[in-house]
Structure 1
Amino acid sequence: MDISMRNTLMETLGMEVVKATPEEVQIRMPVDQRTHQPMGFLHGGASVALAESAASIGAYLNVDPSVQQVFGMEINANHLRSARSGNVTGVAVPLHIGKNTMVWETKITNDNDQMISISRCTIGVVPLKNS
């Protein structure tokens, strides 16, 4: 993958790309002070950031980046369980790969493989201005 995570939200939250193919993206994220909400649980926004990051990377791997770029258009999430520590892993798979949009589903689980959150993200595919 030819994109850098340096100086990004992903780096700030401690996300690590475990697997990245056009068919599946896996990202691990720590549940710690960087990703907690004030009560000491995993922040729902951190889960959504993980989900959209995985979906965006997957979408990027399904376009020609020399002529196209991808942007998140919409995301929804259902938070099913809380976490205080350990890691969570998001696994994103495409539900639809289209010419102008993609839809990705991301399931986030904890270290015990329990579902933490599930989301669906719509990604827009746009031409680069210099194309």
Structure 2
Amino acid sequence: MAKKQFHIPKNFSAQYELIEGVKLKDFLFFIPSTILMLPIIFLIPIGALYKIIICAFLVFIPFCLVFIQPIDGRDIKVWQILKGKYDFMKRQKVFYYRKEGWNIESVQKKSKINNRRKR
């Protein structure tokens, strides 16, 4: 009896999506902007036009982070790219150095000269 073969699509994800291509975790970016918008709308005494502009800006930033995919054909969002760059900058850096004038050839020449002197 032959084994069954299953075809799994390349872009298949088992995560729950509220909108096609946008996962539930992505919508968490809208929570801080919503929390900031409520006091601006109800408590700060500024003009209605300024309130609309500020609230639109607070919604626009998470919208860009969640919905824009800078690499076509990949399910990578802007916030994931920014997080990767931040983690790369935050990592411990390793620096390799050599003392000036030191290299393998000079060490080998010195060892040959020292071996000849010992004889």
**Structure 1 length-normalised TM:** 0.22
Structure exhibiting the larger radius of gyration computed from Cα positions: 2
- Report the TM-score, using the length of structure 2 for normalisation: 0.23
**Bigger share in helix:** 2
